[in-house]
Amino acid sequence: MNAKLKKVLKKRGIEDVRQLSEEEALVFDKWNSVLSGESISVDKIKVFCETQISKIEEQWQVLDNSNTKNERLILLYTVYRNLIKIIVAPDVERENLEKYLTQLLTEK
């Protein structure tokens, strides 16, 4: 945990981060991440996109959404789904190439 964050918690009488509300914990985690200098990885972006897709799918369950909201959800879903496709494409290409080369090696 970042030293400055630790001091802020102590000043507010918070001994343990588990004492924070859910919302406060999210803010704390974000601040801690920023201050720790963690870089964003492709895997983190993929997880974020998957989480957003899940949230969008939950919102589709609401039957009284306006047409505008549903159109926006479709656009967001498409963007996140395409980002995931871009991220996993090299893996899929590699797997396909490996299968092809294996097939060439096993042919008589």
Closest CA to 28 of 49, 48, 14, 43: 14
Domain ranges of the chain: 3-36, 42-106
Q: Are 76 and 51 in contact (CB under 8 A)?
A: no
Question: Which residue's entry shows tokens 């001091």?
Answer: 7
pLDDT tens-digit map of 5-39: 888 888 889 888 888 888 888 888 888 888 887 67
Task: Give burial (CB, 10 Å; 0-12/13-18/19+) of 4.
Answer: exposed
* Model pTM score: 0.57
| Distance (Å, whole) CA 22 – CA 17 | 10
The separation between the first and the last C-alpha atoms of the chain, rounded to the nearest angstrom, is 60
pLDDT tens-digit map of 68-100: 999 999 999 999 999 999 998 888 888 888 888
